[in-house]
Amino acid sequence: MKNVNFDRIIRNGQVTTSTSIAVGDVGIISGKIAAIGDLSHDSAAEIIDATNLLVMPGVIDTQVHFREPGLEHKEDLESGSRAALMGGVTGILEMPNTNPTTTTREALEDKLNRAAGRAWCHYGFFVGASTDNVSELRELESLPGTPGIKIFMGSSTGTLLVGKDEELREVLLAGNKRCPIHAEDEPRNTERKSLISANPHAREHPFLRDAESARLATERILRLSHETGRPVHILHISTALEPPMIAEAKRQGLGTTAEVTPQHLFFNAPDCYDRLGTLAQMNPPIRSQEHREGLWKALSEGVFDVFGSDHAPHTLEEKALPYPKSPSGMPGVQTMLSVLLTFVHQGRLDLQTMIKMACETPADLYGMQGKGRLEVGYDADIVLVDQHRTQVFERSMVESKSGWSPYEGESLTGWVEHVILGGELAVRSGERVGKPAGQMLNFWSPLRHSDGGER
């Protein structure tokens, strides 16, 4: 048998995908996965010993807020992507609620220019639907560097808030790609602000932005999706009320998909608000144990398609403002994989399901070329993990410019050892190496579904 000379060989790791687990080797040539199996007779410029390590595709986080431009005191593209890389995330999709908002070709190109040479992981940027740019959305969703159009039904301001049915219908008709949705009912949220107590505390957050707000918005957008034929992706599901509706939409063949965050599975009210105060405040809120159990049930039933961090950092000074002046959002891109691996360690989440939802399906949903899989011919974006290492996450480990994490003090099992990005080592033994090497993600058009077909 002819000896192959690879650029790198990952040797003797537990090579894991959503369909297989086997001890073996991965050979890399020119930034691509060139071979998987027994490569013991082959040579390479560099051998990476993966004995006792999990070898998996890089995580793709399809919902992050890196705050640049306009809010760089909280986060920027360099610091946010650095946090991502250190957490085993090799690709991110960033949201449009920056300042200025990403609602024009010029704003998208500005973000792409800012990321070039500064991003530590691969990147794409959503364009935001607004009440001003509907006539341009079909063109905007097809531009290089964007997976498509994001819709805020709640928890946004100005023209990014698209809350009325007639506005939503118009946006959904203006394009073809799957639309991610922040589904909260803004009229209900506004109305319930008057119910705040005389001495407000963050524990009131899930009462003021209640489960009915999420249910109403999800019900509305699914009805409009059915009416217009536009598939939607419901972000950060937080209630036990929404999964049955999403499951029914899937049975109807609407192309509906949904995300759940690690924090909605990890924390519950009122405990997290008693312990963390406004640090636990996000939209939609962390809710009661009853809702958390509903999310776990839906996860076990296959209702959710992807995990997303909804990484949305604010400074500690901003978070210290008295509720409700305190902003909603928390960091999470760096900790997402370790939290999910902790669920695997606890027996609550199947490892192969985790890889499917954190790596493979995110790439499929948005048609990312060459990403999300440990397969020959795919890009060599690979993470090597010590599944068995348990460590307390401490503030000193935080890479985000915000400087804090809701998981501080939590014991997590499953930590990143090495990250390979585009065939090159970017993290070695838990330490960053080299320079930022993230590249713009490329997206298929028309959108290719996970079954390989086209819509």
**Cα separation of 342 and 346, whole Å?**
6
CA 47 to chain centre: 31
Residue pair 333/309 in contact by the 8 Å Cβ criterion: yes
Catalytic annotation on 310? yes
> What whole-number distance in Å separates Cα of residue 336 and Cα of residue 307?
9
> Which residues, including other chains, have CB under 8 Å from residue 277's CB and lie 6 or more apart?
201, 202, 323
What 3 state SS string does 211-274 have? HHHHHHHHHHHHHHHHHHCCCEEECCCCCCCHHHHHHHHHHCCCCCEEEECHHHHHCCECHHHH
Torsion sign, CA atoms 164, 166, 170, 173: positive
In the block, tokens 């001495």 appear at 199
Catalytic residue among 310, 364, 379, 386: 310
Are the CB atoms for 53 and 88 separated by under 8 Å?
no
Calpha distance 28→272 (Å, rounded): 44
Whole-Å CA distances, 324 to 196, 202, 203: 9, 7, 10
CB contact set of 58 (below 8 Å; sequence gap of 6+): 88, 89, 90, 91, 121, 359, 371, 381, 382, 383, 419, 420, 421
Tokens of 388: 């068995």
Catalytic center residues: 310
